[in-house]
A and B are shown apart, each in its own frame.
Chain A
């Protein structure tokens, strides 16, 4: 693969819901092996951006290229093929509650790759061990696990097929700070071992500093700033400054009242 072709390339991606323009021309490049974290306030369209790249939502305009291939408007069979490159950790874990934990982790192997169940179970238990869960957890159901354990299972599921690209949607939201840091460490470790390209969205700066090579800020449907982790503390961009210091006053106006 040519190094100069970005793994993920977004140009002018726009998406509106009714009159609300959520994405207003997003441009973003994620290079091979790079870990990019997109920060931004709640409701700035971070999740919508991920869903557009995944093809769960269709953007109104713009181009989304994966490995240099345009993916907007791809037919569903080719889309299923393309999704093999992806793994995703959902904000609410999104584990299948009708399946035991090991089948959740092995899902991509069994359903999409047609692997035998016994073999897939072995790999699933390996992946569970990689996120610090013992084999006894494999036979439990997701509803029997705590939030932190569910997140770890979801991480194991996202990496089980050893994808080239992994998305993390708010990996630490809803966890206590210590468990949040455990998840961050696991994310960093798993990504390093797989050599995957990752795109994460979060509003947890501690998490962003830990897992990112590069941070981009989404505001008003656009990427307004992008730079390395060390640059974020030295930037004079008032939006970024307000966000990382968590001040209510500044150029970003939260919609508190109508």
Chain B
């Protein structure tokens, strides 16, 4: 073994390990930046001045204008759930459980997750694109020169609106989803309407709905946070805004699935 050979080994090792280290450090830097951004945003959510008009506008954007897309998602999901569980459960003569399966699946999982995914695509993308464009055209700097804190004016209203509106959206989605299941159950699968409704509510617990709403609030916050964070840190021109939009949507989708697991674990594992 010569020194030269061990030197070569070292350089090979360095060549392999250096990118790993770089990626890891980059990841830590991002986590740090995001944590500071979040702390900053929360502080500005809690301290005056508050821009009620902007909060209201964001609430309309997130809540009202997302209703069609979330409603459609929910009704078809409820319908398909009823069909699938009926055809599956009939194999062991458990058709009676269809109503319970539909309502539990909707309130616990599919309502919040699917609504979250839909809203992430709609709202996360639009926030990132809007704030990103404001960033690259110096509109955010202009806010500062007009004695208006961009965190208070742009970020805080979006976070508050996301946090407040998602649970309402999900509650609506739950109801529409259950209604979709009811439609299929009664009209196609031949359930008695009264029996179907009784079965729906018989095994439903408050915890099922509440866990879904807690998820919704968390997802709403995450969607707004990702939209604002990536928009705020976009650089360059149109391409930078495009990248920011992609990152906002993708990171929101992944975080929704991660937090979905964590919150489920907190509520239902024992």
Contact = CB atoms under 8 A, between A and B. Distances in A.
> Which bracket fits the contact residues of B?
10 to 19
Contacts of B130: 98
A45 interface: no
Most chain A CB neighbours (cut-off 10 Å) among B130, B139, B142: B142
Given A92-B137, A92-B138, A95-B139, A54 B145 contact: yes
Interface residues of A, number: 28
B35 interface: no
Contacts of B153: 111
A30 B129 CA distance: 39
A80 B44 CA distance: 13
A96 B142 contact: yes
A90 B138 contact: yes
Given A80-B149, A111-B153, A56 B144 contact: yes
A213 interface: no
A56 B147 contact: no
Contacts of B144: 54-56, 83
B148 interface: yes
A107 B146 contact: yes
A83 B138 contact: no
A111 B146 contact: yes
A107 B138 CA distance: 16
B142 A88 contact: yes
Contacts of B139: 94-97
Interface in B117-158: 130, 133-134, 137-139, 141-142, 144-149, 153
A171 interface: no
Contacts of A96: 134, 139, 142
Interface of A: 51, 54-56, 76, 80-81, 83-84, 86-88, 90-92, 94-98, 107-108, 111-112, 114, 157, 161, 167
Which 9 A/B pairs are nearest by Cβ-Cβ distance?
Answer: A112-B147, A94-B138, A94-B142, A88-B145, A83-B147, A108-B146, A111-B148, A84-B147, A90-B138
Given A81-B147, A108-B147, A112-B147, 14 more contacts: A80-B147, A83-B144, A83-B145, A83-B147, A84-B147, A88-B145, A92-B138, A94-B142, A96-B142, A107-B146, A111-B153, A112-B146, A157-B146, A161-B146
